[in-house]
Chain A
């Protein structure tokens, strides 16, 4: 494994909490050294059968994505757990996923194409790109030009290092779009390179991109 050395072990922290708590999570994570975060909305259901019968079991949730090097991420998660008590019921959940490469937010760890040698080698990658609202189409175009088959766009909000404006006591978190692209790991390098070139992610304030390993996929057409 040469593509990431020890200092560059990166983690993606996933936090799922009740609606309205997402901004507080990012604020707290910032104190622990995470540079920014992205929030999108989700829906959860409670296990209460009576509520389900009445058709009112949905709960609005917020999903928070935070990326950082392993040490910072784990520290941040520890601090978040102290403050938000994820171990108690109905206080939300959090988990981390290792990240292969990260561009933007002060990092520039690029992804190289991988040749599949043994059966153990990871075959696919999930590329996450977070850009300002309205720019997702450009990301998709760039990805397709480099051979990606398709992409999914998720509406989100979030803030990076350059965006911490305040309106009274509220922090304004600008609107973002998350683009999720699944690629064969033999072309992941090309796709990320094409996106990086088009969106200029290495320049500050232009967005962030990270790549996760995926072992199995269904539904991706060759």
Chain B
């Protein structure tokens, strides 16, 4: 298993590493200490991803699916509704990305919307939608109908939301679906849906919960912005740029901070696990030990991974963005953005968890290479579009998001249900830590050089794009699959 996971991590991280190395020796030479940090970061990401992936497989996934099963088995509507609401709230509250986003929102609204308030509201939104999403599975409400209604509500709310908050709202969907919450939600849905008797239904319902949770976060922020009537963004964000030329120091500085954040993020899952173990799982000692090992691996792997990303990749992302923009060739910025989008998504941890689950649920019918290919193209397009948006002054975020979501919802009416679920999940999955640091930094770096671009407004919204394009890309894959799966030569 180690070799299998290591290979997976290696093939995930090598592409982006190679691209940056090529950029370094061609158009955007980096200072040697940044470049060395990047290489160390890449090594840390490979090791971290390897450990994280088997940690999730033997720890987080079993916990999630066991919980899903025992919740569904209770067969009591109110118990499932309230328990999943609390569950969703807790995992969202503990998500470090959400706290970072909320902190930024507090800064840019000059305190009009407090950090505490936004974390609470978004978590309630996520909790409500997770609860509704799981009940949907139990009551056999078709996924595409559920999503259509959700996104119509978002559209309605969006009309009253200012452009700045629109970006923040869509970004918050990316922030709540982090590297830990996604595997957990995926497993939860898997656990509930695996109770279904019909094999086809059970498979279809294994996906979609992450997408539903993302919609909850978007709605929550929109409601909050409308209610607080604070629609103007005033402050500005300061970008931390370390001036130190030390190579190791940034890594050492990051470790304790990241380790603490991950402990917080893991704690609700661990606590709930032991509560459930006491009440309903009653696992044997051997099973228990395996899951505890899984949690430890998840913690170690994610700490190493995020340290590598934050200390090694973030600044390089910003520098590459700035330097490419400085060359004064707009098409080059768009092209580099597209290529970086293609390769960054491969290194996103939750993507691997999702593709593994897809292979398991479909017994290998949907191959991961196909999912990766379409996801890559989707995210590449998203980053390229974001760059165009930064370069072209009049183009606003909703000019891209609105047609995108309309297309996604329209496709959901006809695409195979399985792919609708996978597509909406992969939207949340794609906007993980790797995009949130590297791609965001790249966009902000580019925006910093382009005079009319607003680092804040253009920076927010990149994640929103990355979360939107996979919806379309993977549903296209679904159409291709369904058109190719029919049988020939029989009536």
Interface residues of A (CB under 8 A from B): 19, 22-23, 39-41, 46, 51, 54-60, 62, 133-134, 136-137, 153, 155-157, 162-163, 165-168, 170, 172-177, 203-205
Contacts and interface: CB of A to CB of B under 8 A. Distances in A.
24 contacts: A23-B364, A39-B364, A54-B293, A55-B290, A56-B293, A133-B200, A134-B201, A155-B203, A157-B362, A157-B363, A157-B364, A162-B487, A162-B488, A162-B489, A163-B487, A165-B485, A165-B486, A166-B484, A167-B370, A168-B373, A170-B370, A175-B203, A177-B199, A204-B490
A133 B489 contact: no
A55 B490 CA distance: 48
A38 to B, nearest CB: 9
Interface in B5-50: none
Contacts of A133: 199-200, 203
Q: Among A22, A51, A162, find the residue whose CB has the most chain B CB atoms closer than 10 A.
A: A162
A174 B200 CA distance: 12
B78 interface: no
Contacts of B359: 41
Given A19-B364, A155-B363, A175-B363, 8 more contacts: A56-B1, A57-B1, A58-B1, A134-B200, A155-B203, A157-B363, A166-B484, A175-B203
Interface of B: 1-2, 4, 54, 57-58, 197-201, 203, 289-290, 293-294, 297, 359-365, 367, 369-370, 373, 480-481, 484-490
Given A167-B481, A172-B485, A157 B365 contact: yes
A19 B370 contact: no
Of residues A40, A51, A60, which shows the largest number of chain B Cβ atoms within 10 Å of its Cβ?
Answer: A60
Contact of B199 (A39, A54, A136, A168): A136
B2 A62 contact: no
A148 to B, nearest CB: 17
Contacts of A204: 489-490
Given A55-B289, A56-B58, A204-B490, A173 B365 contact: yes
A173 B367 CA distance: 10
Given A62-B364, A157-B365, A205 B289 contact: no
A167 B480 contact: yes
A153 B484 CA distance: 25
A172 B54 CA distance: 28
A176 B485 CA distance: 12
B485 A156 contact: no
A122 to B, nearest CB: 31
B484 A165 contact: yes
A172 B488 CA distance: 13
A203 B200 contact: no
B61 to A, nearest CB: 12
Contacts of B297: 56
A170 B489 contact: no
A162 B198 contact: no
A153 B485 contact: no
Contacts of A136: 199
A41 B363 contact: yes
Contacts of A157: 362-365
Contacts of B367: 170
Contacts of B58: 55-56, 58
A162 to B, nearest CB: 4
A39 B203 CA distance: 17
